[in-house]
Structure 1
Amino acid sequence: MTKNIKIVVADDHPMLLKGLTEELKNYYTVIGTAENGAIALELITKLNPDIAILDIEMPLLTGFEVIKKCDEKKLKTKFIVLTSHKESRFIYKAKTLNISGYLLKDEPFEEMQKCITALSKNKTYFSSTFDAVYDSEVSPELKKIKLLSPSERTIIRLIAQGSSSNQIADTLLISPRTVQKHRANILNKLNLSSSTDALVIWTKENKELILTL
């Protein structure tokens, strides 16, 4: 029975939290609600729900940070991320964590029911938008990154962290000229324009991917 499924819900928008909780209570057992990530983590740790539904962006701890901490504690709770974000960096971050579901806030409640049903059967359930963005935006960039040499990957990590060419040269004990040669090779492999800001912009857009290399 669905009423046997225990759920914790966390969202920092009170009206959305209230509306979602009331809808869920018609079918499941909601054992706790939270308006920030710290309370969500406390409730999940204490109550050990079957499923936790988390907004990504919350005060004190983000949904992703809550999931990571629960994963470190080896909790058995399964996680559904509920968000308005369709950007590739959020999609990629979700892929790297122990997340069973990823839904958009503008989707009908039936999608939430389908997701919870899938999780109760030890399956995963992701919004069709999630898969579309991953296939069209994330996967192609990952393939490009794999073309880079270890030295080039180190350099784009440093660029993503805000280092200038001179700072990279000092860090890696190489000449600025060598850094510039690496940057030129990186631009070529990533199929980017040779404009001054092209690589900086690309690293900002793909920071989540780069920093996990």
Structure 2
Amino acid sequence: MTDRTITIFLADDHTIVRQGLAKLLAAEPNLRVIGEAQNGREAVKKVQVLKPDLVIMDIAMPLLNGIEATRQIKKLAPQTKVIILSMHSHDRYIIELISLGASGYLLKDSTGAEIVKAISAAMKGDVYLSPSISRRVVEDYLTLKKKSSWEDLYTKLSNREREVFQMITEGHSTKEISGILCISPSTVKTHRANIMEKLQINNISHLIQFAIRLGIIDVQSPDIDF
């Protein structure tokens, strides 16, 4: 680990997880947590202001998931390292996030020592994967494992469509999405139509099931108000 203090930002929608991470990292003399966020959109905004050295990011967060938040952070603050800490070990997540520039991917059953090791690797410019998933990911990558059809469909969505897709499946109304993204209600409806066409889905219920299968939202189905 470097001698200088490494500033860290925590993004997770569970307060207890953020508190646990903050306590763990506070025990390390060269690590300092300088900010927190409970959703991906808040994380992107705060990281631009605070400019931390590293972000520890969950995937399944409201308003903007960790994949899209990582995409935006690496574009807006490319010098900031991102380590994913998630309960999901889907190959699609791992490979896509590494391709976006993430410096590590850890499962939430990782030890404190493993998290510190991942931070050290990231600051050296390396990529760290939990031992439990690294071998499988490498094997899948080398054999060019074919994606499932539903994963292929998701990759067809634009970045904006992915944002709208998540908020629809979380139960946000057209008006709410319009306000959050600063776009007109008609534009939201256009995005919704394009999303359903690209995903080959014709109702909101199936759209929610699709999001749950991807791990974009939690299992409980939200109330839809369109």
What's the counterpart of residue 94 of structure 1?
Answer: 97
Structure 1 residue matching 2:122: 3-state secondary structure: helix
Distance in 1 between the 2:91 and 2:136 partners? 6
What's the counterpart of residue 61 of structure 2?
Answer: 58
Distance in 2 between the 1:114 and 1:102 partners? 12
What's the counterpart of residue 23 of structure 1?
Answer: 24
Structure 2 residue matching 1:53: 3-state secondary structure: strand
Q: RMSD of the TM alignment (CA)?
A: 2.7
Q: Contact 2:81/2:123 (CA < 8 Å) preserved in 1? A: no
Instruction: Tell me by how many angstroms 1:114 deviates.
Output: 0.5
Q: Contact 2:98/2:104 (CA < 8 Å) preserved in 1? A: no
Instruction: Tell me by how many angstroms 1:119 deviates.
Output: 1.6
Distance in 2 between the 1:122 and 1:3 partners? 16
In structure 2, stretches of 5+ residues that fail to align are: 157-196, 202-212, 215-226
Greater C-alpha radius of gyration: 1
Distance in 1 between the 2:64 and 2:146 partners? 32
Distance 1:45 1:85, change over 3 A: same
Structure 2 residue matching 1:69: 3-state secondary structure: helix
Distance in 2 between the 1:83 and 1:48 partners? 22
User: Scaled by the length of structure 2, what TM-score is found?
Assistant: 0.60
Distance in 2 between the 1:12 and 1:75 partners? 23
CA deviation map 1:116-163 (0-9, x unaligned): 1112222221112332221344543x2668xxxxxxx99xx7xx9445
CA deviation map 1:154-190 (0-9, x unaligned): 9xx7xx94459xxxxxxxxxxxxxxxxxxxxxxxxxx
What's the counterpart of residue 182 of structure 1?
Answer: none
What's the counterpart of residue 74 of structure 2?
Answer: 71
Kindly tell me the number of residue pairs found equivalent between the two proteins: 154
Distance 1:30 1:162, change over 3 A: closer
What's the counterpart of residue 46 of structure 1?
Answer: 49
Structure 1 residue matching 2:52: 3-state secondary structure: coil
The alignment status of 1:125 with 2:128, answered yes or no, reads yes
Q: Contact 1:7/1:52 (CA < 8 Å) preserved in 2? A: yes
Bigger mean CA offset, 79-88 vs 126-135: 126-135
1:104 pairs, out of 104, 107, 123, with 107
What's the counterpart of residue 9 of structure 2?
Answer: 8
Residue identity in the other structure for 1:19? G
Map 1:180-195 to 2 at 5 A. Answer: none
Instruction: Tell me by how many angstroms 1:19 deviates.
Output: 0.8
Residue identity in the other structure for 2:99? T
Instruction: Tell me by how many angstroms 1:92 deviates.
Output: 2.4
Distance in 1 between the 2:17 and 2:145 partners? 38
Q: Contact 1:9/1:32 (CA < 8 Å) preserved in 2? A: yes
In structure 1, stretches of 5+ residues that fail to align are: 146-152, 165-203, 206-213
Bigger mean CA offset, 8-17 vs 127-136: 127-136
Aligned-pair identity (%): 34
Structure 2 residue matching 1:122: 3-state secondary structure: coil
CA deviation map 1:67-117 (0-9, x unaligned): 111222253100000001112222222232111011110011110011111
